[in-house]
């Protein structure tokens, strides 16, 4: 069997298009909030400093900041079984 014959019998390859912002709006939304709330507001002078500032932002985002998609509650309140937002 020649190469051209085996290629002709192979199923077509499905190619994925490059990702566009609209392909995953949740990631794009988080990316925008991370950029506006942390990356554009801090200077990172060291890797350890960057880790600390990013962790502070993540904790605020997950444990304090209310999210409209879940009834203006902090995401941590869903894990705790609480219906009220967690106090800051």
pLDDT: which is higher, 86 or 79: 79
The mean of the pLDDT values for the chain is: 80
Question: What pLDDT is attached to residue 54?
Answer: 94
3-state secondary structure of 81: coil
Burial of 65 (0-12, 13-18, 19+ CB in 10 A): middle
| 15 pLDDT above the threshold of 90 | no
Question: What pLDDT is attached to residue 51?
Answer: 95
Q: Which residue blocks in the chain are alpha helix, DSSP H?
A: 3-9, 25-34, 47-59, 75-80
């Amino acid at each position: 069997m020649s190469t051209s014959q085996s290629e002709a019998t192979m199923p077509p390859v499905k190619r994925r298009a490059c990702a566009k912002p609209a392909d995953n709006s949740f990631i794009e939304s988080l990316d925008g909030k991370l950029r506006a709330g942390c990356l554009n507001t801090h200077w990172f002078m060291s890797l350890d400093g960057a880790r600390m500032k990013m962790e502070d932002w993540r904790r605020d985002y997950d444990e304090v900041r209310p999210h409209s998609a879940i009834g203006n509650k902090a995401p941590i309140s869903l894990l705790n079984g609480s219906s009220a937002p967690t106090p800051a």
